[in-house]
Amino acid sequence: MSQSRAVIFGCSGQELTAQEAEFFAAANPVGFILFARNCETPDQLRNLTGQLRDCIKSENAPILIDQEGGRVARLRPPHWRQAPAAKAFADLAARNMDEALEALSLNVRLIGQELRELGINVDCLPVLDIPQADADLVIGDRAYGTEPKQVAALGRAACEALLQEAVLPVIKHIPGHGRATVDSHEFLPRVEAKLAELSALDFVPFQALADMPLAMTAHIVYEAIDADRPATTSPRVVQEIIRGEIGFDGLLMSDDLSMQALAGSFAERTMATLEAGCDLVLHCNGEMTEMQEVAKAVSDLSAEAEEKMTKTLSLIERFETVDKTAALARLDELLEN
């Protein structure tokens, strides 16, 4: 089998086009990411995840989705449960931390069960960002609170719940998106906080969960660390902060390369991300011309990253699933308190 390339791609619709199937077979990405445009029914989605893996001849290739609950949910009713936003668990934690941890674990296990049954084995969750009062609402109710220890504790409960259901968590957006005053989907945020402030608050949940297998970068300029480049493409942020101070040594992926926070061609974004020290680039929108440009610029998965990927996938070879009816009943009881 040919060497996997250091990229995760999206696709355009609910089934692969002939062009996409041919392109993915040639490009050989390490995996794929799904969005609402790809998700209509359980049967359709199981067929799509099977098609994607068939293209690259990999039975356990990572297939990602952002299924946080609340407003960030690619799977929605009537076929899938509408899970609460993270804020529901943050609010419960303010009243009773033990109940919040139990409720969040049940909620995320139910999410993980749904994903696993669809052939999805990576959920881009939890959000470990700590929103500040003047920040853009892009994080907002997706956060587990404003106190680092609480965010870390709830974040770990979410990670462990996913892993129990044989789904990999992705901690995001490392090293912290909570101070951004603009949405990085549309603009490049610049954070002026001093390094000491970032270390004392923003980095703390990521340090606490640095043992997790996957992390996603923030497209944010931290002026105290690198005033010229966002974290995703900054060797200083990746090496000195994410790998160094925070201590994350798992697989590091970029946030979506097609977000407006990044500048330059897609080839330039791809190369800059990998040169900064990220293991994988993420391209989400399914636009073929953009994916072709990324594919020309991306390198093979490094030997170190390939070893990490093998180790990471081994974490979800076995699972113990939750009883759905009992879990839902208990979750509703806890959230009503």
185 is catalytic: yes
User: Is cis: bond before 185, omega within 30 of 0?
Assistant: no
What is 252-306 written as a DSSP string? EEEEETTSTT--S-HHHHHHHHHHHT-SEEEE-S--HHHHHHHHHHPPBPPHHHH
Q: What angle do CA 312, 280, 262 make, to 5 degrees?
A: 145
98 is catalytic: no
Q: Which of 141, 255, 256, 279 is catalytic?
A: 255
Instruction: State how far the Cα of 165 lies from the Cα of 161, in Å rounded to an integer.
Output: 7
Q: Which of 43, 98, 185, 323 is catalytic?
A: 185
Relative to beta strand 214-217, strand 251-256 is: parallel
Ranges of beta strands (E only) in the chain are 5-9, 29-34, 63-65, 67-69, 72-73, 122-123, 168-169, 171-174, 190-191, 214-217, 221-222, 251-256, 280-283
Question: Could you list the active site residues?
Answer: 185, 255
